[in-house]
Each structure stands twice: as C-alpha cells, then as structure tokens.
Amino acid sequence: MTGNIDKLSEKYASNEEKFEFLNDMVLHDKEAQEITAIDALLWLNRANHLVQRFFELILEDNASEEPSDDLVKFLKAAYKDTLKEHHGWIAQHLFTFLSRMCPTRKDLVNVLALERENMEDIVYRDMESFTNKLRENVTFILTFYKENDLENYPKPS
C-alpha cells in the first residue's frame, strides 16, 4: 500500500494544481497513455477493499452470540472476495502463508484500543464507522474505474 501511496504522492507533487483530485491524475494518465496513477490507485483501492471486507466480516461475527477469536478465516474470506482473482499462484500462496500471522480478535481489539482496557464497544463502533466510510470510497473508485473503462487498462509496451 505504501508504494502505491508514494507513487500517487509523487504524481501529485509533480503538478499540484493540475492534479488537485485523484481523478485528475488518473484521467491524465489515461489521456497520456501512462499507467502510474491508474495502476497505483487501482491496487490501493483493492487493498482498501480487502480491509473493508475483513472488518465487515469481523463486525458481522461480533454481532453473533459467540464471536470467534480466530480472525484468520475472516482474512482468508476477505482475500477470496477481493484480491485473490488479481493475484497469481505465488502471491496467493504467499498470502495463505502470511495470513497465519493474523492476530486474534482479542489482540486486534487491544491494539485498536491502544492497549486501554474496556474499550471493546468503542473499538467496534469506530470500526463500523470507519468501514462504512471506507466502503463509500472503495465503491466510488470502483465505479469511477468502470465508467472510464480503466479496470483492465492496458499497460504501455
């Protein structure tokens, strides 16, 4: 994610007035037959979509009678729903390996609560608010890419 943010930041810094909005950068790249902003925003949005879906699954499970402490299954399901189709065999297997490092629910909530006790309700409330805003952004960018035929934009030769 950081690499894609860096690419977009560099592009923005090259002409802050012209690239006031991300859309401006992406449409400029399309017109100039470049790929930097198109590709960077696409992959950043895909990563954000993964986070959004992961949090949605955690929130859905949290509403159940017995929430699971094991979040690996939610991370794997979020990956399957969002990124898997865009990754090759090696990246898929690397993700499977790395997903084993997913924290437990208790550990995640503890980190998100900045290690303060009795903050679970606040963490889940904030997670839901964040997830709703993230969903709006992810959906907007997905729609923007579809409307501008950028989903499978060809990379220059």
Q: pLDDT tens digits for 6-46?
A: 999 999 999 999 999 999 999 999 999 999 999 999 999 99
Residue type for 138, please?
V
Confidence check: pLDDT of 155 > 60 = no
Task: Provide the pLDDT for residue 151.
Answer: 82
Coil, helix or strand at residue 19: coil
Q: What is the pLDDT of residue 154?
A: 63
Query: Are 141 and 20 contacting, i.e. CB atoms less than 8 angstroms apart?
Result: no
The per-residue pLDDT for range 103-141, each reduced to its tens digit, is: 999 999 999 999 998 999 999 999 999 999 999 999 999
- Residue 75 CA from chain centroid, whole number: 12
Average pLDDT of the chain?
93
pTM given for the model = 0.89
How many CB atoms within 10 Å of residue 78? Answer: 23
Say what the pLDDT of residue 156 is: 47
pLDDT band at 102 (very low <50, low <70, confident <90, very high): very high
